[in-house]
Chains A and B, each alone.
Chain A
Amino acid sequence: MATATAIPGGIAERDWEMPEQVGLWQDSWRRLRRNKFAVIGLVIVAVVIVDALIAPFWTPYETWRQALGPTYQGITPAHLLGLDESGRDILSRLMSGATVALEVGIGASALASLFGIFMGLIAGFYRGKIDAVISTIINVWYGVPDLLVAMTLVVLLGRGVINLVVAIAVTGWLGMARLVRGQTLSLREREFNEAARASGTRSLTIVFRHILPNALGPIIVQATYLVPAAIIFEAFLSLLGLGVPPPTPSWGDMASEGYKSLQVAPHIILAPSIAISLTVLAFNWLGDGLRDAIDPRMRR
């Protein structure tokens, strides 16, 4: 995995020159709308989200029901994407898979971001020994391959959406913490902070009033990149037999089942693979677009 946690994280960690105008967000939104790829990404993400909201209430067939027809059946009018190896409707499972993907993706991204922001803020704000300890933890933890950590944790905690989210977030927060720490360190020195301190404002207020809002742009970009990373991660774990337990239709599980029947019924692997790839692509485009929109200097 690490496609996104390690590397886009690395990209996002580059120096951020924060424009200070108040109209920043309007400007960013205008720039984002002009970016074709970002708009396509946004549309796909919106479709996935709508689908994920509908799926728990309605799918053409129940996702768990087996033997709806002959197993491995190809595309028919009744089953637009065919049936899988247990005779379940692939379209219905694909739809529900979006729910699982977003639960894991957004869940892990949110958890990792919250923890990362917290650690980064503390390290950057208090500096000194606290920073040294947190930075060492981050540096040590960075050297540990995330997939191995997640596998060990899933075996320990058991398979399930919540446990997966935890297992992915346990390593996912590092990039965010590094980013926020850097931001905090530089923002802290800004004059207005000095002024705020001089006027006796409490440190918590400084953090929430001044530092956090200014660091929000890069944080949003980083959090966006974390979503596809977590989705790929879930698929990796599914492939190794450690994903969400069946019959929950996760795209990763569907792909790994499809892989086994590759030569018998290639249609089974196709749908989830395309779904994962498109969703990841959309989030990456959206992330790139957000990055360019929030910080035009980064634009290539």
Chain B
Amino acid sequence: MRGTLVYTGQRLVLIAFTALAVSSIVFIGIHLQPGSSLLTDRPSNPVRLQQLLHQFNLDLPWPQQYWIWLTHAIRGDMGVSLSSNRGESLTPVLLREAGVSMTLGFFAILFTIFVGIGLGTLAAIRQNTWVDYVASTAAVITYSIPPFVWAFLLIIVTVTYLYTLTGGAIYEDIGWGKPEQIPVPALALGLPYAAIVARLTRASMLEVIRQDYVRTAWAKGLTGRVVVVRHALRNALIPVVTILGPLVTAIITGSVVIEFLFGIPGLGKEFVNSILSRDYNITVAVFTAYAVIVGFANLAVDLSYPLLDPRIRY
């Protein structure tokens, strides 16, 4: 227990350090980018530009600007918008968008885990049957098709053809705000990763199944087999859990593109817009938020190992 606390403490320090490092590097990086959100294609007035730079602290040296950003960010104030409705507080907007992204990511991960582990287990206990071959081949093909191609396919099917075929009766509204708008983008986001989880589950399940005690139990018949699947799955899941960390990172990254394609108002879409419009505060905030989310997701995954495998302790 004590070990776990120390371990968690160390990890939290690392997350804080990551956030600090990422935010400062990104802060410098984006300020090096040419152009500014304060310019328009109207003839600009130098006096006005100077006033605006001053108003938003953009005329200060970078270290000082960064310090101002950091001290506000720690208190939960993400600064103000520099592009749309300039000067408006970003905190409520970003919080709302983070909620959207996390909802999407949550369902994608849920889908990934359940479908991936389910298919992987099925393929393993039916090893070398057609079920196994179909599932394994489908898995490789699925994860080799880039997520955005899945998104294209799903959009074509749900938005265009279903609508045309059913004369408008079935229509998947792309966008966000209604519960029925969640499954399709979550599917597009989770599908390739579900394939990877399936492959991994199958492989590690097979290793467990090959062990003697399992074979004996298996021979005992149906009830025994249920026990086996349950027992073996528990052991087989340990290596699967190890990739949940990278998986969360991948899904967060993937959500940037999925949000963009499905028009979902999440952090990813906001990030893309901010970087193209030089809305510095948003870029730094979202970048850092992602690093922190990934950090905590990985920590959660690592802390869940002992639950699955009592031999592991921190």
Q: Within the complex, are A and B direct neighbours (CB within 8 Å)?
A: yes
**Is B260 part of the binding interface, using a Cβ–Cβ cutoff of 8 Å?**
yes
Give A37 to B202 CA distance when docked, in angstroms.
Answer: 18
Give A288 to B257 CA distance when docked, in angstroms.
Answer: 27
**Is A1 part of the binding interface, using a Cβ–Cβ cutoff of 8 Å?**
yes
Contact of A151 among B15, B152, B196, B272 (CB under 8 A): B272
**Is A276 part of the binding interface, using a Cβ–Cβ cutoff of 8 Å?**
yes
Interface centre among B249, B272, B286, B295 (most CB of A within 10 A): B249
* Set of chain B residues within 8 Å of A273, measured between Cβ atoms: 149, 152
Given contacts A143-B295, A284-B143, contact A1 B152 (CB under 8 A): no
Interface residues of B in 126-166 (CB under 8 A from A): 140-141, 143-149, 152, 155-156, 160
Kindly supply a per-residue 1/0 record for chain B positions 274-308, scoring 1 wherever the CB is within 8 Å of any chain A CB and 0 otherwise: 01100000010011001100110010000000000
**Is A195 part of the binding interface, using a Cβ–Cβ cutoff of 8 Å?**
no
* Set of chain B residues within 8 Å of A146, measured between Cβ atoms: 253
Given contacts A11-B200, A144-B22, contact A2 B249 (CB under 8 A): yes
* Set of chain B residues within 8 Å of A239, measured between Cβ atoms: 148, 257, 260-261
Q: Is the CB of B206 within 8 A of A143?
A: no
- Quick check: which of A75-83, A202-210, A255-263 contacts chain B, the rest being far away? A255-263
Q: Is the CB of B29 within 8 A of A147?
A: no
- Quick check: which of B44-52, B71-79, B218-226, B240-248 contacts chain A, the rest being far away? B240-248
**Is B203 part of the binding interface, using a Cβ–Cβ cutoff of 8 Å?**
yes
Given contacts A2-B249, A6-B246, A148-B271, contact A240 B257 (CB under 8 A): yes
Contact of A240 among B21, B32, B146, B260 (CB under 8 A): B260
Cross-chain pair count, CB within 8 angstroms: 144
Q: Is the CB of A300 within 8 A of B294?
A: no
Q: Is the CB of B272 within 8 A of A240?
A: yes
**Is A226 part of the binding interface, using a Cβ–Cβ cutoff of 8 Å?**
no
Q: Is the CB of A148 within 8 A of B253?
A: yes
Given contacts A2-B254, A236-B148, contact A143 B298 (CB under 8 A): yes
Kindly supply a per-residue 1/0 record for chain A positions 111-146, scoring 1 wherever the CB is within 8 Å of any chain B CB and 0 otherwise: 000000000000000000000000010011011111
Given contacts A1-B254, A143-B291, A236-B257, contact A228 B29 (CB under 8 A): no
**Is B125 part of the binding interface, using a Cβ–Cβ cutoff of 8 Å?**
no
Given contacts A259-B152, A280-B146, contact A7 B275 (CB under 8 A): no
* Set of chain A residues within 8 Å of B6, measured between Cβ atoms: none
Contact of B290 among A145, A155, A232 (CB under 8 A): A145
Give A235 to B260 CA distance when docked, in angstroms.
Answer: 14
Q: Is the CB of A3 within 8 A of B143?
A: yes
Kindly supply a per-residue 1/0 record for chain B positions 248-264, scoring 1 wherever the CB is within 8 Å of any chain A CB and 0 otherwise: 01101110110011000
Q: Is the CB of B283 within 8 A of A152?
A: yes
How many chain-B residues does the 8 Å CB contact rule pick out?
A: 57
Give A165 to B257 CA distance when docked, in angstroms.
Answer: 19
Give A10 to B275 CA distance when docked, in angstroms.
Answer: 30
Give A11 to B260 CA distance when docked, in angstroms.
Answer: 29
Q: Is the CB of B298 within 8 A of A277?
A: no
Give A6 to B287 CA distance when docked, in angstroms.
Answer: 18
**Is A243 part of the binding interface, using a Cβ–Cβ cutoff of 8 Å?**
no
A228 nearest CB across to chain B (Å) = 7
Sort chain A's interface into a size bin.
35 or more
**Which residue in chain A gives the minimum CB-CB distance to B137?**
A37
Q: Is the CB of A262 within 8 A of B152?
A: yes
Give A269 to B290 CA distance when docked, in angstroms.
Answer: 31
Contact of B242 among A10, A153, A281 (CB under 8 A): A10
**Is B17 part of the binding interface, using a Cβ–Cβ cutoff of 8 Å?**
yes
**Is A72 part of the binding interface, using a Cβ–Cβ cutoff of 8 Å?**
no
**Which residue in chain B gives the minimum CB-CB distance to A285?**
B140
**Is A198 part of the binding interface, using a Cβ–Cβ cutoff of 8 Å?**
no
Contact of A148 among B33, B196, B243, B256 (CB under 8 A): B256
* Set of chain A residues within 8 Å of B32, measured between Cβ atoms: 156
**Is A97 part of the binding interface, using a Cβ–Cβ cutoff of 8 Å?**
no
Give A152 to B274 CA distance when docked, in angstroms.
Answer: 10
Q: Is the CB of B149 within 8 A of A7?
A: no
Give A266 to B160 CA distance when docked, in angstroms.
Answer: 12
Q: Is the CB of A140 within 8 A of B200?
A: no
Interface residues of A in 33-61 (CB under 8 A from B): 37
* Set of chain B residues within 8 Å of A147, measured between Cβ atoms: 253, 256-257
**Is B30 part of the binding interface, using a Cβ–Cβ cutoff of 8 Å?**
yes
Contact of B149 among A6, A228, A255 (CB under 8 A): A255
Interface centre among A148, A236, A241, A255 (most CB of B within 10 A): A148
Q: Is the CB of A145 within 8 A of B33?
A: no
Give A3 to B271 CA distance when docked, in angstroms.
Answer: 21
Give A277 to B287 CA distance when docked, in angstroms.
Answer: 29
Interface residues of B in 202-251 (CB under 8 A from A): 202-203, 206, 239, 242-243, 246-247, 249-250
Q: Is the CB of A2 within 8 A of B246?
A: yes
Interface centre among B144, B243, B247 (most CB of A within 10 A): B144
**Is A105 part of the binding interface, using a Cβ–Cβ cutoff of 8 Å?**
no
**Is A9 part of the binding interface, using a Cβ–Cβ cutoff of 8 Å?**
yes
B142 nearest CB across to chain A (Å) = 10
Q: Is the CB of A155 within 8 A of B276?
A: yes
Q: List 24 A-B contacts (CB under 8 A).
A: A1-B254, A9-B246, A143-B18, A144-B22, A144-B290, A146-B253, A147-B253, A147-B256, A148-B256, A152-B29, A155-B276, A156-B32, A232-B146, A235-B146, A236-B146, A236-B148, A240-B260, A241-B276, A259-B261, A266-B156, A273-B152, A276-B146, A281-B145, A284-B144
Chain B interface (Cβ within 8 Å of chain A)? 14-15, 17-18, 21-22, 26, 29-30, 32-33, 140-141, 143-149, 152, 155-156, 160, 192-193, 196, 200, 202-203, 206, 239, 242-243, 246-247, 249-250, 252-254, 256-257, 260-261, 271-272, 275-276, 283, 286-287, 290-291, 294-295, 298
